[in-house]
Amino acid sequence: MKKSYLWAGQIIVLAAAHAHAQSSVTLYGVIDTGINYTNSAQTGRNPDGSLNSGSQINMTDGATRSYGSRWGLRGSENLGGGLSAIFTLENGYNIANGALGQGGAMFGRQAYVGLNSDMLGVVTIGRQYDTQADFVSNYSVFSVAALSGTTPGDVDGLGHTRRVNNAIKYVSPTYRGFTFGGMYSPGGKAGDFTGNQIWALGASYEFRGFSAGAGYINARDPNLSSFGDNPNSGGAGTNNMGSVGSLTSAQSNPIYAGYASARTFEIYSAGASYKFGKAALAASFSHTSFGNLGDLDAGPNPFDYSGTAIFNTATATVSCFATPTLQLGGGYTYTHGGGAGGNGSASYHQGIFSVQYFLSKRTEVYFYGVYQLASGTDSLGQPAVANIDLMTPSSTNHQFVGRVGIVQRF
């Protein structure tokens, strides 16, 4: 009898161990905070329309790479035959005050479920990044050099600041270094099949130290579908892309805030990198367009724009490990925007430098500096002001931001 109990106990233990091996749930997260110095940040405007500003010292949440404070749950269950069920729930929050990120969404960074097949690839459904994040972002200044300093307002989306709701995404297995994927988000608009829809394609190739990728995204009614994807977003009467500011508030994303009435939003992007030893070089190019301006069902049009506004961006980045624990990075970004309806154009030059020191595999301290110089006329019909991503715009055509911070991963 005792032997029977012993054998039964061993079987239960083995079965439990087998079940545990077949499924897993991982708790993970990042805490990223730092102190910023900005030489010029808008505070509002005067009755005559001129902008006010002042220097600023403040603490803000994560601004390095695709970090930003978060915690998440990632799970997988082995279904047999090389097939697994997977899910990710990822919450963004502000370490400075504990507030929810992404407009107050509980799992605003990512929330999806899907199937992963060794033979066929991965299909996921829910709120997730578009295919540019999978195939092109790694070649942008934002990711390669671990810097905050994407294009102004992250106009080409390579800075991971926007997600796609209700998205169905497919990513293939890697075939001899080649991977491809696509994504579709139905708009759900009654009587208008294409209204608010988003679709995207992407592909990448890797061989030894060389890699390259390309992507395309098409969003209808971007003020609602792409920029209006958070709980605090408004309807067609609200500008979810930015603001013109007021006597007591700063502008937001003046580079494209005037284009909320766009019917279509397209991004073509491509990039490449080469790693040699402890260093890496990368470059990227993107073409962004806000088309068919003047559609009031998509968003407000206070400047009566029509036609198409375009932005072309080129970036170059270098990063290297000076020592096993010290990484240096630098980059240059040039963005040129063609104004809509003959309203002029604007250009943005931006230089970036960063230093990261790794105290361990999970903890680092860092410094970065970003300088931007703008010229021409921006989407608000004013002399273009500097508009460093994630920061309050300047009241002038130039702006410098310096940041010291710490990142801890778990």
d(CA 128, CA 88): 10
Choice between 4 and 384, residue whose per-residue pLDDT is larger = 384
pLDDT in tens, 326-370: 999 999 999 999 877 555 689 999 999 999 999 999 999 999 999
- Return the SS3 of 214: strand
Instruction: Pick the closest to residue 175 from 121, 114, 116, 115 (CA basis).
Output: 121
As a whole number, mean pLDDT of residues 75-103 equals: 93
* pLDDT bucket at 149, cuts 50 / 70 / 90: low
What is the model's pLDDT at position 103? 87
Residues 6+ apart with CB under 8 A from 351: 330, 331, 332, 370, 371
What is the model's pLDDT at position 35? 92
Contact between residue 155 and residue 311 where contact means Cβ atoms under 8 Å apart: yes
Instruction: Pick the closest to residue 384 from 341, 316, 338, 353 (CA basis).
Output: 338
What is the model's pLDDT at position 359? 97
Residue 160 has pLDDT above 50, yes or no: yes
As a whole number, mean pLDDT of residues 100-116 equals: 94
Question: Do strands 198-207 and 178-185 pair parallel, antiparallel, or not at all (unpaired)?
Answer: antiparallel
Residues 6+ apart with CB under 8 A from 258: 242, 244, 302, 303, 305, 340, 378, 379, 380, 381
What is the model's pLDDT at position 363? 96
Average pLDDT value for the chain: 89
Contact between residue 234 and residue 196 where contact means Cβ atoms under 8 Å apart: no
The amino acid present at 394, given as its one-letter code, is S
Its CATH architecture, for the domain 24-409, is Beta Barrel (2.40)
Residues 6+ apart with CB under 8 A from 62: 30, 32, 33, 34, 68, 69, 95, 405, 407
Residue 13 has pLDDT above 50, yes or no: no
d(CA 273, CA 316): 10
70: which 2 tokens? 């978060």
Residues 6+ apart with CB under 8 A from 211: 138, 139, 204, 205, 272, 273, 274
d(CA 149, CA 350): 8
* pLDDT bucket at 86, cuts 50 / 70 / 90: very high
d(CA 348, CA 387): 9
Q: Where are the domains of the chain?
A: 24-409
Q: What does each C-alpha distance from 119 to 25, 80, 113, 135, 393 come to in angstroms?
A: 23, 12, 19, 20, 48
246: which 2 tokens? 């007021």
Instruction: Pick the closest to residue 95 from 72, 68, 64 (CA basis).
Output: 68
What is the model's pLDDT at position 285? 97
- Strand-pairing partners, residue 35, are 59, 404
Instruction: Pick the closest to residue 256 from 229, 291, 284 (CA basis).
Output: 291
d(CA 377, CA 395): 13
Comparing 18-32, 109-123, 212-226, the range with the smallest average pLDDT is 18-32
Residue 65 has pLDDT above 80, yes or no: no
* pLDDT bucket at 63, cuts 50 / 70 / 90: low
* pLDDT bucket at 81, cuts 50 / 70 / 90: very high
Please report how many Cα atoms fall inside a 13 Å half-sphere around the Cα of residue 399, on the Cβ side: 32
DSSP for 289-358 reads EEEEET-TTTS--TT---EEEEEEEEEEEEEEEEETTEEEEEEEEEEEEEPGGG--EEEEEEEEEEEEEE
Q: What is the pTM (predicted TM-score) of this model? A: 0.90
Residue 289 has pLDDT above 50, yes or no: yes
* pLDDT bucket at 141, cuts 50 / 70 / 90: confident
